[in-house]
Structure 1
Amino acid sequence: MRKWHRWLSVFFGIFLFWIAATGLLSHWAALWPVAESAATAAASEPPPAFECPEGWRCRPPPPEGSVRGLVGLFHHLHSGDSFGPVGIAISILSGIALLFFAFSGLWLYVRMWLNRKHRRQSPRWFWD
């Protein structure tokens, strides 16, 4: 299990870093504060030919040139849509790899902990 954990992490580490970075940028852009005057101006003008469905809370589009306008771009980069079917496949495989790393890392830790216990060493939670 350790060999698989090590070799897959070399390959998928790059993609997991990409997914984490674009996910953080997407949330950062969504939480970016909008200037008070731009928010009230956008709220007073509904977009043309758009009606908010009943029971939904619709937001006005972000003002042009604001950071919030980048949320869609970051989402497409995050999900792999920008790179076509290959990007989506890599994104799905990276999610599966993340589950594998979580499971195999926990498995390796428990095995090392039990191994120390069977060798009559102190089975501490963390060791050098």
Structure 2
Amino acid sequence: MRKWHRWLVVFFGVFLVWISVTGVLSQVVPWFLPKPSPQVAAAQVPAGFVCPETMTCRPKQGGRSVVGLLHHLHSGESFGPVGVFIATLSGLSMVFFSISGIWMYVQMWRNRSDRGLKPGWFWK
């Protein structure tokens, strides 16, 4: 398991960092965007649309919004079907890394207790 864990992280590590950074930016950037005045926002809303109370609705600014761009970069849509495929594989690799990391930790913990060393959650 450790061998697979180490080899896969060489390839997917770059994509996981990309996905993490664009995901964080897509959540943080809206904090710093200017909020449109209610009159401007109302003028840009399609007729009959009502924003749900539980959501924050913002009109797009300048054609393609910054948050929309970050979402397309985050999901891989900006790079076509190959980008979406790599983003999906990266998400699956994150699940694999989580499970294999826990698996390796449990194995180390069991080996440590089998050798008679102090069992504990953390050790030096």
| Pairwise TM-score range, normalised by the shorter structure | 0.7 to 0.9
C-alpha distance 106-40 of structure 1, shift in aligned 2 (>3 A): same
Q: Distance in 1 between matches of 2:76 and 2:58?
A: 26
2:88 aligned with 1:92: yes
Hey, what's the Cα distance between the residues in 1 that align with 2:6 and 2:12? 10
**In 1, Cα distance between the equivalents of 2:60 and 2:112?**
57
Question: CA shift at 1:29, angstroms?
Answer: 1.9
Per the TM alignment, residue 104 of structure 1 is displaced from its structure 2 partner at its CA by 0.2
Residues 1:107 and 2:103 aligned together: yes
Q: Give the superposition deviation at 1:122.
A: 0.4
TM value normalised by structure 1: 0.83
Alignment root-mean-square deviation, CA: 2.3
Shift of 1:111: 0.4
Which sits farther off after the overlay, 94-103 or 118-127?
A: 118-127
Q: Which amino acid aligns with 1:29?
A: V
> How far apart in 1 are the matches of 2:61 and 2:78?
23
1:124 maps to 120
Task: Give yes or no for contact 1:63–1:69 (8 Å, CA) kept in 2.
Answer: yes
Query: 1:1-128, aligned counterparts within 5 Å?
Result: 1-35=1-35, 38-47=36-45, 50-52=47-49, 56-57=51-52, 59-64=57-62, 69-128=65-124
CA distance 1:87–1:33, shift in 2 (3 Å): closer
What count of residue pairs does the alignment treat as equivalent? 121
* Unpaired runs of at least 5, structure 2: none
Query: What TM-score, normalized to structure 2?
Result: 0.85
> In 1, Cα distance between the equivalents of 2:120 and 2:12?
31
Give unmatched runs, 5+ long, in structure 1. none
Residues 104, 77 of structure 1: CA spacing in aligned structure 2 closer, same or farther, 3 A cutoff?
Answer: same
